[in-house]
Amino acid sequence: MSPKHSAELFPGASSAEVRRYDGKQSLYECAVDMLAQEVPVAFEYNGISHATLLASPCDLEDLALGFSLTEGILRTSADLHDVEIVETPQGMIARMIIASACFAQLKQRRRTLAGRTGCGLCGVENLEDVVRPLPPVSPPRSSVNAAAICRAAGQLRALQPLHRETGATHAAAWADMSGSLIHVREDVGRHNAMDKLIGLMLHRRRQADTSAGFAVISSRASFEIVQKAAAAGMACVAAVSAPTHYAVQLADELGVMLIGFTRGETFTVYSHPEYLG
């Protein structure tokens, strides 16, 4: 049976008629389920298309800014002069006006990519370009308390309304040094959730203090998560699942304390344990 989708009832979600089987009845039960929306989102800079990704169609201004910063298209949030989110039958478009110096650099990057064979990563054509050169992150202003990390991770699920409705999204959150969650963003993609969080924290010309807290993510920690955190100046990332070897290696090089398996009162530190208090 093909599910019949309704109009959006919850931001980032749609309802669908489904059939459920519980293993005990011979008849399938008719029910209504909530599904996470996943739409194409295209990024345009000064009228030129650069990249398209699949994302949850909410908090797209945060996503546009966060993606542009962590991918090195913008130097700071002040380089984004304007962003307009446009809905089309094919998906969403984030039309951005950026500083002329950033646009010139972007055009140069596009010229160097012309005619090459890609490796499949967004905007990346050479394996050497997968990991961008980034300066090491400054250590946190004060030691990170173990109890604060556990507290923050324990709060995360309750602050994921889209996941509660659909069960199909990830979250990235920012906690202060006491472990209280200050900002949370959700998306079907874990990297998008991190970009949305960074975009929210560094919104336009308001710079956030990323030295006085840590990030918590509801997924595994891939190298892209570490790279985006380092680009935003985050010195600590705690994941509820496992990191990859590449992520640990990059975190060690960039001065990021990477934590995995943050569940209950336990976690595992993979890099820079000296940041723990």
What digits encode the pLDDT tens for the residues 240-275?
A: 999 999 999 999 999 999 999 999 999 999 999 999
Is the pTM for the entire model greater than 0.85? yes
Domain ranges of the chain: 5-36, 39-113, 146-275
Q: Which fold has domain 146-275?
A: Cytidine Deaminase; domain 2 (3.40.140)
- The string of pLDDT tens digits covering residues 118-138 is 334 454 545 455 668 899 999
Check residues 7 and 203 and name the one with the higher pLDDT.
203
CATH of domain 39-113: 3.10.20.10
> Of the listed 30, 58, 102, 119, which one is catalytic?
119
Q: Write a three-state SS string for the chain.
A: CCCCEEEEEECCEEEEEEEECCCCCCCCEEEEEEEECCEEEEEEECCEEEEEEEECCCCHHHHHHHHHHHCCCCCCHHHEEEEEEEEECCEEEEEEEECHHHHHHHHHHHHHHCCCCCCCCCCCCCHHHCCCCCCCCCCCCCCECHHHHHHHHHHHHHHCHHHHHHCCCEEEEEECCCCCEEEEEEECCHHHHHHHHHHHHCCCCCCCCCCCCEEEECCCECHHHHHHHHHCCCCEEEECCCECHHHHHHHHHHCCEEEEEEECCEEEECCCHHHEC
**Mean pLDDT value of segment 35-43:** 96
Average of per-residue pLDDT values in the chain: 89
Residue-wise pLDDT for 66-123, tens only, equals 999 999 999 999 999 999 999 999 999 999 999 999 999 999 877 654 433 333 445 4
pLDDT band at 210 (very low <50, low <70, confident <90, very high): confident
- 119 carries an active-site annotation: yes
